Amino acid sequence: MKCIIDRRAQFSASHRYWLPELSEAENIEKFGLCSRSPGHGHNYVLYVSMAGNLDEYGMVLNLSDVKQVIKREVTSQLDFSYLNEAWTEFQQGLPTTENMARVIWRRLAAHLPLVRIKLFEHPELWAEYEGNNMEAYLTISTHFSAAHRLALPTLTLEQNSEIYGKCARVNGHGHNYHLEVTIQGEIDPRTGMMADLVQFQKAVDEFVVEPFDHTFLNKDITYFAQVVPTAENIAVHIRDLLEQPIREIGAKLHKVKLIESPNNSCEVYGLKQQEPLGQRQVPELRLCSV
């Protein structure tokens, strides 16, 4: 039986985004605060996903052996290091989160049956790499607080209460929404970036967080005047709002995950890259838990 297992590891390291072929002004314009000398540091958390068949002992791999491979090939070399000088790969392309995930894959692929490398630079920024040449995924997480009421305007209170329960109460209720936005793109071999992280964050803030935060969604967001603001519908609307801005920074919107509460979350996937805006299909939704 096929099974995927994960092994967690961690290391602390510093890095700097700086290209010697650019002037100081050009580096500052391109990389912002990350260009400051002598650099800055992070506590990285690494998840290594591996696939295989269960053996007679009920294991895919001996995790003690996996731990030693990851330590030997990655963490012992990167822990308390200056990443720009730690590996030759980071002299060719900067040690961004997405490029680090790609290079770690290359370092481990000869030793482990990899299916995914997931690297957290901090809890609100992480990258995933699945062995597809220079293609990677980059996720930022953020939050906003908003109120809503689940009710169809064409139904009575009694009818809405039968469908939505307490969520149909006339004065609504609120949530601290947690939002994860994942983009997909090609890593630039020199900068190590698949998209400008500052512009990525700016797009999410400008089109979602600022308009949605501290609102009553049904009344303050025009779209929800006639559309019930369920977690699923909110996620779809966020997807639609971000499609074009993400394309404009040179990436593809891969996924929006909206966590309404610890018990309820929803994922919606982006449109295919080749589909023109306007030729929309029914979005793929996944309700994670209720």
Q: Give phi and psi for 113, each to the nearest 5.
A: -80, 75
Q: Which residues pair with 267 in a beta bridge?
A: 257, 286
Q: How confident is the model at residue 290 (pLDDT cuts 50, 70, 90)?
A: very low
- pLDDT of the residue at 246: 98
3-state class percentages of the chain: helix first, strand second, coil last, to nearest 5? 35, 35, 30
Find, among 95, 103, 181, 93, the residue nearest to 137 by Cα: 181
> How high is the pLDDT of residue 271?
81
pLDDT of residue 286: 54
* Residue-level pLDDT at 278: 43
pLDDT, tens digit (0-9, with 9 covering 90-100), for 226-280: 999 999 999 999 999 999 999 999 999 999 999 999 999 999 999 864 344 444 4
List, in sequence order, the alpha helices (H) in 217-257. Answer: 217-220, 231-248
- pLDDT single digits (tens) 60-110: 899 999 999 999 999 999 999 999 999 999 999 999 999 999 999 999 999
Nearest to 101 by CA among 65, 126, 124: 126
d(CA 43, CA 33): 18
Catalytic annotation, residues: 167, 214, 260
Domains and CATH numbers, the chain: 1-131 (3.30.479.10), 137-290 (3.30.479.10)
Each residue's pLDDT tens digit, 143-165: 999 999 999 999 999 999 999 99
